[in-house]
Chain A
Amino acid sequence: MKGVFVPPRGALWLLRHLLPVTEREVFIGDLLEEGQIVRGRTGARAARRWFWHQSLVALLMLRRRRVISPTCQPAGDPRMLTFLGDLRHGLRLLRRAPAFTMLSVLTLALGIGATTAIFSVANPVLFEPLPYPHPERLVIVGERDADGTMTNLGFLTYRDFVRESRTIERGAAMGSWQVTLDDHGAPEVVAGQRVSASFFSVLGVHPAFGRDFNVDEDAPSTNSVVMLSHGLWQRRYGSDSSVVGHTISINGVPYVVAGVLPASYESVVAPGAEIWRVLGYDASLPYACRTCRHLRMIARMRPGVTPASAAIELSALSSRLVREYPKEYPAAGAIVQSLGDATTSTARPVLWAVLGASALVLLIATANVANLQLARAMRREEEFAIRAALGAGRARLTAQLLAEGLLLALAGGAAGLLVARLTLAILVARLPQTMPRLSAIGLDRTALLVGASITLLLGVAIGLVPAMRDGRGELGSTLRGGRRLTGGRRHLARAGLVVAEVALALMLLVGAGLLSRSLVRLMSVNTGFDANHLLTLQTQATGPKYADNNAVYLNHERVLAALRQLPGVRRAATVSQLPLGGNLDAYGVNAEDKPLANPELAPYADRYAVSPDYLGAMGIAVLRGRAFSEADNSDRAPLVVVVSAGLASRIWPGEDAIGKRVHIGGPNPPWRTVVGVVADVHQRALDASESSQFYVPERQWQFADNVVAVVVRTQSDPTALTRAARAAVQGVDPSQPVTAVATMEQVVATSTAQRRLALMLFGAFASLALVLAVAGIYGVLAGAVAERTREIGVRSALGATPGAILRMIMVQGMRLAVAGLAIGLVGALSLGRFLQSLLYGIDAADPLTLGGVALLLAGVALAACVLPAFRALGVDPITALRSD
């Protein structure tokens, strides 16, 4: 490589100004000479980087030589040298006050660490674009339901949208696919997706190796082709690239592996998915109909198109489809959402709230440290006065304080990095698995940058607050030895900081209080079933040997029989989906006596295909009629259905549902007779207002559910049966995977995971805030008492009673607390609406919570006042008057 090495100017400047004069010339000369050599070996960029590195090491390590000739002026930019001197001086001072330093650094570390950790959790969802090229052109498309909400779509609707739209460049349909991998080791259940062949090209993702899906594979007979995630490929196939192009066995059927996705691929649309199969639908398939709404659609819009304009076009298309097929759509219209918004919108409120909370903690921590610095500055009045008398200008003194503030903040930031790492490790383990963009969370460059910026800002703030002082007037009096006139403005600043701390702590405590009361209310919601002593697990009967429905039913019956054999098991049942288990499987229910012109407008209800004892095992109350029995399983039994009270009153308000007949799902469904009405359960979420369910014996449904949940009612602690239950299920068929083993109480708790997380963080932040605020109040009062020792002595010498002195100090402290509480209440009321979406059954301005928290904080503040007040009482008038 030819060319001359050009050293980085910044580094050269620093070296010229900061290196000891004795070393400067030869050292820079040596570096330049070497730079030329390094450039020849590794190129210009690397050489510049090398030069910077060497320069920084030199600046940190090369000290002034001890022997300096008398004629030699200490050269270099005097301002810079002074600042370095200030830093060194600050370091010495901080080392001499270890308790103060430790306390400040710890406080700052907690604030900076917590904020950085929370930021790195929130960043992918709140601020980062999706990890695909041109993410702003990616959208999710759905049909508009009669009530205006977005629903999935059937294959034919998807096909028409893609074919006829001009705003969409490319579209892809997707549906969930749960699979059991059954070669290359023990059977393993993996979350997957069935996707159109165009799926990855819509996202703009290319396989790391192998090939993308082909369009001609997207047909019913050629769709046994899969794509693997990088993680799955490493874990299960030992990073063996020869698996590409060969077949693997899934659910007992061979599939060709087309390719492996890059490690950086993040499955944003279907979190947790590890395997993708070509959808392979065409119009001939029974489940490709317009009303078979089980597909989601993503699309890449043409450049320059907005989601709104795409929605207008697709809605017009939809109106045409509705005119053509009036009985297959509930309403006209399409909904187009940007993919980024659609995948992250549910997590946003929680993350904003938690990020806000951590910012409040950071503010409180800063206030506290600034307060400590102020107190210290007051004690150092004399030092400052002497420096000023010796000619130090205001700027010099400010620079000194600024250096100290920066040092504290830097130490706090470094320790905060550790806190952030720790917090993040704890947090990530507890984040709900449904949280979007989970895998993108980490202490990445952005998070570190944010942490560093916060640190610098805090350093400046902490440095500048104590630099506030009165005019020059005080200088003389301070030097004359009086500590009577310490800076009034600083007192005001300290008082202001304490007021702010109390106000901020109140806001956090109110948030924590509201969230915890919401959770209590939510957990006392009647779930409709008895979650106590109930073990649940999921199992799967798939593959060629279960191709026949009857084989699946027999498998379920054997599993239940094996479970009932276990000691401690009272009842056991299977169900196609578990309440609050995260599934969505709903069908329209049409009543014989209430015919609708458009059957698509029939109410939707969650479907539960169950073994006969399900209602009993779950403890779902039968309100009218009967539950199922074994007799309903016989071949000639009439078709029956049990409906929830909610569904019954929606279809037959004021009438008896028993004996009515309904159509459910399918192109030509049979009539089913309602034989029972049972209590409502919550399927989607505890806070979902309205839900409808129907239950059918599994042998009476159109198809067998290969994946079912098993519920086991136990005599005592259900977790004790986990191992035995798993063994019992696998004893029936060793190739049968058992997953999602949990007690029903855990399932319910998991459904509220996001709230629990928010509550946990708010609780932690609020406690921290409380401790810091109390420490702040105590510190200010203790300082005030120490300063007023003389005054208190005079007062008691002149006859002030102990009660009067006590009152005086207490009033001083409580005045600050009450001012803080008042401001905090206003703040809590105005910030409350940001929490509203996380609350349940409680108003953000709930007077009980606000009042309770204010009282608690007032009590704690009072306690913080008591100790300094009693210390004031102990002041001996004689010593006080003699002091100074």
Chain B
Amino acid sequence: MLGEFEQLVLLAILRVEDDAYGVTIRHAIVEESRRDVSLTAVYKTLTRLEEKGFVIARVGEPTPERGGRRKRYYALSAPGKRALRQSIDVVRRMARGLGLGLEPS
């Protein structure tokens, strides 16, 4: 079972597809969850997910607006996708029939 924030990070990576690195991942989470998330929190979670083998990192090209520094791009691995699906399924099943308007439409 994934932590809530881990879920958010994984979903964010899927959402921004090919352009998933620190800044874009954070933005995706901030936009949808409406809460202020520090870059550090994102990094810590990414590190943990990488150690668990749920995401794969690759170092990209340097860009000028980053003072010539390189980016690290992330993508979901196969176990990552599986874990995310299972985790969300659990939430769905738990919510079923409670009449809270939580049913998937």
Contact = CB atoms under 8 A, between A and B. Distances in A.
**Is B a genuine binding partner of A?**
yes
Interface of A: 23, 25-34, 36-37, 54, 57-58, 61-62, 65-67
B51 interface: yes
Across the A-B interface, the 4 shortest Cβ-Cβ residue pairs = A29-B69, A30-B22, A29-B66, A26-B72
Interface string B58-74: 01000101110111100
A877 to B, nearest CB: 61
A56 to B, nearest CB: 9
B34 interface: no
B39 A26 contact: no
Contacts of A30: 21-23, 39, 66, 71
Nearest to A60: B40
Contact of B23 (A23, A34, A61, A62): A34
B93 interface: no
Contacts of A57: 38, 40
Contacts of B44: 61-62
Nearest to B70: A25
Nearest to B66: A29
B43 A62 contact: yes
Interface in B40-66: 40-41, 43-44, 47, 51, 59, 63, 65-66
A26 B22 contact: yes
B71 A26 contact: yes
Contact of B43 (A27, A33, A37, A66): A27
A37 B27 CA distance: 11
Contact of A54 (B21, B38, B51, B66): B38
Contacts, number: 60
Contacts of B72: 26
B49 to A, nearest CB: 13
**Interface residues of A, dominant DSSP:** helix
Nearest to B59: A26
Interface residues of B, number: 21
A57 B23 CA distance: 16
A791 to B, nearest CB: 57
29 contacts: A23-B47, A25-B69, A25-B70, A26-B71, A26-B72, A28-B69, A29-B66, A29-B69, A29-B70, A29-B71, A30-B21, A30-B39, A32-B69, A33-B23, A33-B65, A34-B26, A37-B23, A54-B40, A57-B38, A58-B39, A58-B40, A58-B43, A61-B44, A62-B40, A62-B43, A62-B44, A65-B47, A66-B51, A67-B51
B40 A36 contact: no
A54 B39 contact: yes
A272 to B, nearest CB: 44
Nearest to A61: B40
Interface string B7-32: 00000000000000111001000000
Nearest to B47: A65
Contacts of A26: 21-22, 59, 69-72
Nearest to A56: B40
Nearest to A7: B67
A57 B37 CA distance: 11
A29 B72 CA distance: 10
A134 B71 CA distance: 55
Contacts of A67: 51
Contacts of A23: 43, 47
Contacts of B26: 34
A32 B39 contact: no
Nearest to A23: B43
A47 to B, nearest CB: 14
Given A23-B43, A26-B72, A32 B38 contact: no
B65 A27 contact: no
B39 A34 contact: yes
B85 to A, nearest CB: 27
Contact of A32 (B21, B41, B51, B66): B66
